[in-house]
Amino acid sequence: MTGISNSFWPVRLASVVGVVALCFALDRVVLAAAPAQYRLLILASLFVILAVSLNLINGITGQFSIGHAAFAMIGAYTAGTLSKNPTFANMPPAQLLAVMTLIGALTAATFGFIVGLPSLRLRGDYLAIVTLGFGEIIRIVTNATESLGGSYGMPVAPKVQLLWWSLLMMAVCIALCRNLLKTTHGLTFLAVREDEVAGLAMGVNVTMTKVVAFVIGAAFAGAAGAILAHTEAFISPRTFPMEMSFIILTMVVLGGTGSITGSALAAVVLFAIPEYLRTLTDAQGKAYEMNAGLFMGVLIGIMIAVAASKWIQTNVHEKGKKLGFYAGAWLAVIPLGFLFQTILHLSPTLKQLSFGIDILRYAVFAVVLIALMLLRPQGIFGHHEIGWHWFRKRPAGATEGGAA
Amino acid sequence: MSEAQPILRLDEATIKFGGLTAVNKVSFELNRGDIFGLIGPNGAGKTTCFNLITGVYKPTSGEIYFQGQPIGGLAPNKIATRGICRTFQNIRLFSALSSVENVMIGAHLRHKVPLVGALMLSAKSVAETSALREHAMHLLELVNLADYANHRSADMSYGKQRRLEIARALATDPELILLDEPAAGMNPQEKEELLYTVRRIRDELNKTVLVIEHDMRFVMGLCERIVVLDHGEEIAQGPPDAIRNNPKVIEAYLGEPA
C-alpha cells in the first residue's frame, strides 16, 4: 500500500475525537450560558442536516428534488410511532434517540430508494414534479390517516432534547459528503450532474449513482426528522408543510449548489432570520407592526437596487467605480423607500394597513432569491467550499476554487 | 482469445429511425493495433456508427462483436467497462470541473475501493484517489496539458478541450478508443501534434484506434485502413491509396462526374 502518509491514522483519530468532544462541549456551554437557545440550536443543526443532505441530491448529483421535507416527515412519524412500542419503554433517553434516529433514517432511505427509481428516467423539471408530488402524497396521506393522528397530529414520548446528538449527526452528515467529494467516487456524482451522456461513456453507472444519492440524502433527512420528533415531542402534518421543502431548497440554492459548507451556512442564516424576527416584540409581547406602505416602498426600492446592481455588474468594469456605483444604488433604497411610501399612501386603505414584523420573513426569502438569481445564479459560494485554503496562498496556475 | 481474432467486428450492423435507415448493413473488422479511419460526407452515418458501437443506440439488426463477445445493445457504461471508450464530436467535457478531475472521472473504472470506503475516507480510498490523480497527470502530460491540470475545462481553448477528451477517454484504460473528429477546429500545427499523439497512443500504450475525421490529409496520413460510408451504406474499404483513387468515393464527396 503506497501513498498513505504516516500521519493518516493519528490525524484521523484526533479529528474524530475532536469533533465528538466539540459537540459535547458545545452542548454543555449552551446549557450553561444560554439554555433558552438550546432547542433553537437543535433545530438549526437539523436544518443544516436537511440542507446538506438535499445538496447531495440537488447540488452534487444535479437531480432537482423538491420533496425533501417528506423524507424528514417519514423519519419523524417512524420515530413517533415506534417509540410508543413497549420494547423501548425502559430505554435511557439518549439510547432511545440514537435508535430512533437510525430507524428513522433507514425508513426514509427505503422511501428514498422508491423515489430514486423514477428519477432514473426523468430529468430536470419532470423529476422536480415527481418529487413535489411525492412530498404532497406523503403529507396528505398522513393527514387522512387516523392511526397517525390525522390532521391533529400525534404526541411523541418521551421528549428528548440533546443538542450534542444533533450536532454529532450534523457533523457525520457534513463529513460524509465532504469525504465523498475528496475521492474519485465523488467525482462520478459530479459527472452525473455535468453530463450524463459523457458520464455513461466513461463507464459511470449513472443509474446507481442517482439512487445512491437519493438514498443517502433521504436517510439523513429521515434522521433529522426523527430527532425533530423527539425534540418537539409533537408532530403533525403542519410540522412539515410544503414550504419547508422550499425553504430547504432555498438554503441549498442560496449557499451554492454543490457547496457543502455554503449550504450549511445558508441553513443557519435562513433559520436564524425568521427566529430573530419572531423575537422582536414590544413590552406586551406583541409583534411590532410595520406600516404596509413603507414596507412595500422599501421592497420596491430594493428591487430597483437589485436591477441597478445587475446593470453595474455587466456594464461597469473599473473596480473602484464599481464599488461606488453599488454603494450608491443600495443607499438609494432609503430615499426610494420613503418616496414610494408617499406615493402608496395616496391610497387611504394602504395608509391604514400594517403588518406584523414576523411576516417579513416571507419577503426576505423572496427578495434574497430574486437578487441571487439575477446577480449570482451559482449561489453565494458557487461550487466552492469554505475552508482553510481561503487563507493559504493559491498555487500558481490554479483556477478560482478549482474543485467543485 | 487468439491474437488473430479481430478486436472489433461489425456484422451487417443496421439501425433504423422510423423510416430512415441511418446505418445499413455495415460490416468491417479492426485488428488489434490498427489505426482505422471511418470517413464519409456529412450525414453518412459515421457518428451513428460510433453510437452503435458504444451502446448509445441498439442496432435494429446485425451484431457487433468486441473481442469475440456480442455487445450490441449493452448499456454504454457496460461497454466502457469492457474496454471501448470514445470522444465526442460536439465536445462533452464535465465543464465545471478541472482538467485533472475530468481525467480522474475517466479513471474511476480502475478504482477498487467501494463507496462505503469513500464515505469513510478510508486510508485505502485516499491512497487510491491520489494514485488516480497521479495517473491522470500522466495522461495529461501525454496530450501536453499538464500545465492546465487545474484549469476549469470549459475555460480552455477548443483544441485543448479536444485533447483533454482524448486523455479522459484513455483514462478508462480502453482496448479500443474511438475518436470522433479529433482534429476539428485545430490549426495545422495542432493537427500535426495530434497526429503524433495518436501514433503514440497506438505504439506506446498499445491501443487500437478508430477515428472519424473530415480532414483528408490527416486521415490519409494517420490511418492504415479506411472504410467509407455514404448515406448509411459502406461504399469502399481499404488502404488510403486505394480509397483516394476509388471512383465511388470521389463521386460521394464531389458529386457525379460532370
Q: For residues A122 and A131, which has the higher predicted lDDT (pLDDT)? A: A131
Mark whether B168 and B188 lie in a shared domain: no
Mark whether A367 and A223 lie in a shared domain: no
CB proximity list for B89: less than 8 A, separation 6 or greater: B47, B180, B181, B184, B212
Q: For residues A401 and B79, which has the higher predicted lDDT (pLDDT)? A: B79
Helix (H) or strand (E) holding A291: strand A289-291
Asked if A8 lies within 8 A of B123 by C-beta distance, the reply is yes
Report the residue from A2, A198, A212 with minimal CB separation from B88: A198
B208: confidence class by pLDDT, cuts 50, 70, 90:
very high
Place of cell 423527539: A230
B87 pLDDT exceeds 90? yes
3-state secondary structure of A345: coil
Query: Distance between CA atoms of B98 and B102, rounded to whole angstroms?
Result: 6
Lowest mean pLDDT across A93-102, A119-128, B142-151 = A119-128
What grid cell was written down for B136?
491522470
Mark whether B114 and B158 lie in a shared domain: yes
Domain assignment of residue A114, yes or no: yes
Domain assignment of residue B47, yes or no: yes
A61 neighbourhood in chain B, CB within 8 Å = none
Q: Tell me how close the Cα of B177 comes to any Cα of chain A, in angstroms.
A: 11
B179 pLDDT exceeds 60? yes
Residue range(s) defining the domain that contains residue A364: 289-384
Mark whether B76 and B183 lie in a shared domain: yes
Beta strands in chain B (DSSP E): 8-17, 20-30, 35-39, 61-66, 69-70, 84-86, 176-180, 208-212, 225-230, 233-238
CB proximity list for A276: less than 8 A, separation 6 or greater: none
Domain assignment of residue A390, yes or no: no
Lowest mean pLDDT across A93-107, A339-353, B28-42 = A339-353
Query: Distance between CA atoms of B234 and B26, rounded to whole angstroms?
Result: 6
Task: Using a pLDDT cut of 70, give the percent of chain A over it.
Answer: 94
* Domain end among B173, B196, B211: B173
- The answer to whether B155 contacts chain A (CB < 8 Å) is yes
DSSP 8-state assignment for residue B110: G
Q: Which of A41-45, A318-322, B238-242 has the highest mean pLDDT?
A: A41-45
A403 neighbourhood in chain B, CB within 8 Å = 97-98, 101
- Closest to B128 measured CA to CA, from B114, B147, B148: B114
- The answer to whether B81 contacts chain A (CB < 8 Å) is yes
Mark whether A93 and A207 lie in a shared domain: yes
- Closest to A262 measured CA to CA, from A393, A389, A155, A379: A379
A380: confidence class by pLDDT, cuts 50, 70, 90:
confident
Prior bond to A86 cis, omega within 30? Answer: no
DSSP 8-state assignment for residue A346: T
A195 neighbourhood in chain B, CB within 8 Å = 92-95
Domain assignment of residue B244, yes or no: yes
Number of structural domains chain B divides into: 2
- Closest to A215 measured CA to CA, from B73, B116, B89: B116
Mark whether A254 and A134 lie in a shared domain: yes
Residue range(s) defining the domain that contains residue B133: 94-173
Asked if B105 lies within 8 A of A187 by C-beta distance, the reply is yes
pLDDT per position as a tens digit, A15-39: 999 999 999 999 999 999 988 899 9
B243 pLDDT exceeds 70? yes
Per the DSSP assignment, residues forming a β-bridge with B66 are B8, B69
Domain assignment of residue A398, yes or no: no
Task: Using a pLDDT cut of 70, give the percent of chain B over it.
Answer: 97
Place of cell 501514433: B199
Asked if A182 lies within 8 A of B155 by C-beta distance, the reply is no
Mark whether A223 and A254 lie in a shared domain: yes
Mark whether B73 and B180 lie in a shared domain: yes
Domain assignment of residue A403, yes or no: no
A402: confidence class by pLDDT, cuts 50, 70, 90:
very low
Domain assignment of residue B89, yes or no: no
B107 pLDDT exceeds 60? yes
Mark whether B36 and B157 lie in a shared domain: no
A257 pLDDT exceeds 90? no
User: Chain B interface, mutation test: which of A19, A173, A187, most B Cβ atoms within 10 Å?
Assistant: A187
Mark whether A299 and A255 lie in a shared domain: no
Mark whether A129 and A25 lie in a shared domain: yes
Domain assignment of residue A389, yes or no: no
- With 0-12 / 13-18 / 19 or more C-beta atoms within 10 angstroms meaning exposed / middle / buried, residue B144 is middle
Determine the average pLDDT of the residues in A53-71.
92
CB B36, CB B68: distance < 8 Å: no
At residue B159, the pLDDT reads: 87
Domain assignment of residue A2, yes or no: no
A273 pLDDT exceeds 60? yes
Determine the average pLDDT of the residues in B125-136.
90
Task: Mark which residues 356-385 of A lie under 8 Å from B by CB.
Answer: 383
A271 pLDDT exceeds 80? yes
What grid cell was written down for B148?
492546465
Q: Tell me how close the Cα of B105 comes to any Cα of chain A, in angstroms.
A: 6
Other Cβ atoms less than 10 A from the Cβ of A359: the count is 13
Q: Tell me how close the Cα of B252 comes to any Cα of chain A, in angstroms.
A: 31
CB proximity list for B214: less than 8 A, separation 6 or greater: B39, B181, B184
At residue B39, the pLDDT reads: 92
Q: Tell me how close the Cα of A9 comes to any Cα of chain B, in angstroms.
A: 8
At residue A398, the pLDDT reads: 38
Domain assignment of residue B88, yes or no: no
Q: How far is CA A302 from the centre of its chain?
A: 25
At residue A392, the pLDDT reads: 58
Question: For residue A3, what is the nearest residue in chain B, using CA coordinates?
Answer: B127
Mark whether B72 and B200 lie in a shared domain: yes
Determine the average pLDDT of the residues in A235-257.
90
At residue A404, the pLDDT reads: 33
Mark whether B138 and B10 lie in a shared domain: no
Mark whether A242 and A206 lie in a shared domain: yes
Mark whether A221 and A176 lie in a shared domain: yes
Lowest mean pLDDT across A245-249, A250-254, A348-352, B84-88 = A348-352
A402 neighbourhood in chain B, CB within 8 Å = 98, 150
DSSP per-residue string spanning B60-77 = SEEEEEETTEE-TT--HH
Domain assignment of residue A98, yes or no: yes
* Domain end among B147, B173, B199: B173
At residue A22, the pLDDT reads: 94
A182 neighbourhood in chain B, CB within 8 Å = 121, 126, 129
At residue A391, the pLDDT reads: 61
Q: For residues A373 and A335, which has the higher predicted lDDT (pLDDT)? A: A335
Mark whether A312 and A192 lie in a shared domain: no
CB A188, CB A209: distance < 8 Å: yes
3-state secondary structure of B231: coil
A396 pLDDT exceeds 60? no
Mark whether B127 and B146 lie in a shared domain: yes
Domain assignment of residue B180, yes or no: yes
Asked if A212 lies within 8 A of B115 by C-beta distance, the reply is yes
* Domain end among B124, B157, B173: B173
CB A88, CB A252: distance < 8 Å: no
Mark whether B169 and B180 lie in a shared domain: no
Report the residue from B80, B123, B148 with minimal CB separation from A202: B80
User: Chain A interface, mutation test: which of B99, B140, B150, B152, most A Cβ atoms within 10 Å?
Assistant: B150
Provide the terminal-to-terminal Cα distance of chain A, rounded to the nearest Å. Answer: 28
Q: Tell me how close the Cα of B258 comes to any Cα of chain A, in angstroms.
A: 44
B113 pLDDT exceeds 90? no
At residue B256, the pLDDT reads: 64
- Helices vs strands, H then E, count in chain B: 10, 10
Mark whether B182 and B77 lie in a shared domain: yes
DSSP 8-state assignment for residue A286: P
DSSP 8-state assignment for residue B106: H
CATH number of the CATH domain containing B54? 3.40.50.300
Query: Distance between CA atoms of A175 and B3, rounded to whole angstroms?
Result: 49
Report the residue from A184, A194, A399 with minimal CB separation from B107: A184
Determine the average pLDDT of the residues in A384-390.
72
3-state secondary structure of B233: strand
At residue A379, the pLDDT reads: 79
Pairing of strands B61-66, B69-70: antiparallel
Lowest mean pLDDT across A212-221, A337-346, A386-395, B139-148 = A386-395
Determine the average pLDDT of the residues in B63-86.
92
3-state secondary structure of A350: helix
A403 pLDDT exceeds 90? no
Query: Distance between CA atoms of A107 and A116, rounded to whole angstroms?
Result: 14
Mark whether A315 and A256 lie in a shared domain: no
Q: How far is CA A217 from the centre of its chain?
A: 12
- The answer to whether B92 contacts chain A (CB < 8 Å) is yes
CATH number of the CATH domain containing A66? 1.10.3470
Mark whether B9 and B121 lie in a shared domain: no
DSSP per-residue string spanning A134-196 = HHHHHHHHHHH-GGGTTTT-EE-SS----HHHHHHHHHHHHHHHHHHHHSHHHHHHHHHHH-H
Asked if A201 lies within 8 A of B95 by C-beta distance, the reply is no
Task: Using a pLDDT cut of 90, give the percent of chain B over it.
Answer: 63
At residue A390, the pLDDT reads: 64
Mark whether A316 and A247 lie in a shared domain: no
B3: confidence class by pLDDT, cuts 50, 70, 90:
low
Mark whether B222 and B248 lie in a shared domain: yes
B172 neighbourhood in chain A, CB within 8 Å = 202-203
Q: Tell me how close the Cα of B250 comes to any Cα of chain A, in angstroms.
A: 34
Number of structural domains chain A divides into: 2
Domain assignment of residue B4, yes or no: yes
Q: Tell me how close the Cα of B43 comes to any Cα of chain A, in angstroms.
A: 21
Determine the average pLDDT of the residues in A125-134.
88
Q: For residues B114 and A224, which has the higher predicted lDDT (pLDDT)? A: A224
Q: Tell me how close the Cα of B81 comes to any Cα of chain A, in angstroms.
A: 6
- The answer to whether A205 contacts chain B (CB < 8 Å) is yes
Describe chain B by its helix, strand, coil percentages, rounded to 5. Answer: 40, 25, 35
Domain assignment of residue A396, yes or no: no
Mark whether A169 and A241 lie in a shared domain: yes
Determine the average pLDDT of the residues in A47-60.
95
Asked if B101 lies within 8 A of A186 by C-beta distance, the reply is no
Domain assignment of residue B7, yes or no: yes
A192 pLDDT exceeds 70? yes
Place of cell 500522466: B138
pLDDT per position as a tens digit, A359-370: 777 777 788 888
Question: For residue B84, what is the nearest residue in chain A, using CA coordinates?
Answer: A201
